[in-house]
Amino acid sequence: MLNGIGEVRERLSRIDSMLCDPETLRNPRLIRELNTERSGLSKVHDTLQSIEEAERFLEELKEAMEGSDEELRELAGNEVPGAEERLRSLRAKLRILLIPPDPNDSRNVVMEIRAGTGGDEAALFAGSVYGMYTAYALARGWRLEPVSSREGERGGFKEIIFALSGDNVFGRMKYEAGVHRVQRVPETESSGRIHTSACTVAVLPEAEEVDVEIDPEDLRIDVYRSSGPGGQSVNTTDSAVRITHIPSGMVVSCQDEKSQHKNRAQAMKVLRSRLLAARQEEEEAKRSEARRSMVGSGDRSAKIRTYNFPQGRVTDHRIHLTLHNLQGILQGDLDPLIDALAAADREKMISDRPAV
């Protein structure tokens, strides 16, 4: 942790020098990391500077209160409460800025939605959750790329994997990881009874090739004929790809693209992301973003959020927040939920840190 405005200025100067280095300019990933760090440090620098100014101003007011000029003492006394409140506010802001950023927040993500408890209704709900994320991505200007899917017998998805790319994608979507539960009268139910079903959502930070080195000798790659919809040629050529990572036993299949080359690239993207998530789980066992922690067993009891159709409400059980805007949320209005989760996350991290 950097202490004092002098150290922050020194680090900013060092970053500026590195950004001008030809070696750095040949490394896009390093440029992105340095720019992200510089942006955060600039906010810390400005806040530290404001704190120093506020401390000097408060000291001047206290000195004036001890002077011989009665009118000046009264004016200073009236100013002190506001100056003290401003100083408290700036110090609280600094505590937030000094929270170490999640290095994954700026990454793109690979998301996996799987139908859990509830049979056909769970697959239909998984389709609704996918539609919710599709609308949210569109609203934020993110790019969504389907990777692979298995449709349910009556609609929806037994499983769908897709990639999201854009600004701060993991930083927002990491709060969606877990078991999502729905209570509603299913389209498959004729008697009008309310059923409960669930789907699991995993959010994996997308790994770059430099993050995870994969030995080609550790891969078994099989190609086969695609099945299901996909247009002309999808069922007539061996375009589907199945990649098995032998050391870990992970298997990734992709058949949504007509091109074998594109399917292989998408499958490798998913495999790298799963391997990165597994490695981070080992290194940071306490992180709730680890994939196994996210998805649990798929049982209803492991829920993080409930979508209750009869009452038109959505409840996030982690922060005990209920919003009566179910249709809006399913249409992509997720920011009120995600903002509240991010704020609760910050508050917890602040409470774990010493006062500034």
The stretch 137-153 carries a mean pLDDT of 94
pLDDT at 297 over 50: no
Span 178-211, pLDDT tens digits = 999 999 987 766 667 888 999 999 999 888 765 6
Confidence of residue 232 (pLDDT cuts 50, 70, 90): very low
- Same domain membership, residue 91 and residue 15: yes
Q: How far apart are CA 267 and CA 224, in angstroms?
A: 14
Return the closest-CA partner of residue 204 out of 101, 123, 111. 111
pLDDT at 29 over 90: no
The reported pLDDT for the residue numbered 302 is 65
Q: Is 108 left (phi over 0), alpha (psi -120 to 50) or beta?
A: beta
- Same domain membership, residue 293 and residue 206: yes
The stretch 13-35 carries a mean pLDDT of 89
For strands 219-224 and 109-115, give the pairing. unpaired
Q: Is residue 102 part of a domain?
A: no
The reported pLDDT for the residue numbered 295 is 47
Average of per-residue pLDDT values in the chain: 86
Q: Is residue 93 part of a domain?
A: yes
- Same domain membership, residue 206 and residue 125: yes
Q: How far apart are CA 42 and CA 145, in angstroms?
A: 34
The stretch 128-156 carries a mean pLDDT of 95
| Alpha-helical runs (H) found in 68-145 | 70-97, 120-140
Confidence of residue 78 (pLDDT cuts 50, 70, 90): very high
Q: How far apart are CA 11 and CA 25, in angstroms?
A: 19
Q: Which of 258, 283, 308 is the last residue of a domain?
A: 283
The reported pLDDT for the residue numbered 92 is 86
Q: Is residue 184 part of a domain?
A: yes
- Same domain membership, residue 319 and residue 172: yes
Q: How far apart are CA 112 and CA 179, in angstroms?
A: 12
Number of domains comprising the chain: 3
- Same domain membership, residue 201 and residue 173: yes
Q: Is residue 124 part of a domain?
A: yes
pLDDT at 298 over 50: no
The reported pLDDT for the residue numbered 39 is 87
Q: Is residue 38 part of a domain?
A: yes
CATH number (domain holding residue 62): 1.20.58
E strand or H helix at 111? strand 109-115
| Alpha-helical runs (H) found in 154-215 | 169-173
Q: Is residue 104 part of a domain?
A: no
- Same domain membership, residue 49 and residue 178: no
Where b means 16+ CB within 10 Å and e means fewer, 310-330 reads eeebbbbeeeeeebeebeebb
Distances (CA, A) of 336 to 84, 199, 200, 230, 304: 32, 21, 21, 36, 16
- Same domain membership, residue 249 and residue 114: no
- Same domain membership, residue 143 and residue 78: no
pLDDT at 219 over 50: yes
- Same domain membership, residue 322 and residue 195: yes
Q: Is residue 103 part of a domain?
A: no
- Same domain membership, residue 191 and residue 45: no
Cβ atoms < 10 Å from Cβ of 199 = 30
Q: Which of 97, 117, 152 is the last residue of a domain?
A: 97
- Same domain membership, residue 160 and residue 307: yes
The reported pLDDT for the residue numbered 97 is 86
Q: Which of 54, 72, 97 is the last residue of a domain?
A: 97
Q: How far apart are CA 291 and CA 288, in angstroms?
A: 8
Q: How far apart are CA 111 and CA 101, in angstroms?
A: 21
The stretch 72-84 carries a mean pLDDT of 93
Report percent pLDDT > 70 for the chain.
87
- Same domain membership, residue 311 and residue 201: yes
The stretch 31-57 carries a mean pLDDT of 91
Span 313-355, pLDDT tens digits = 999 999 999 999 999 999 999 999 999 999 998 888 877 665 5
The stretch 216-229 carries a mean pLDDT of 81
Q: Is residue 356 part of a domain?
A: no
Range of the domain at 225: 216-283
pLDDT at 288 over 50: no
Span 152-178, pLDDT tens digits = 998 999 999 999 999 989 999 999 999
Higher-confidence residue of 287 and 31: namely 31
CATH number (domain holding residue 257): 3.30.160.20
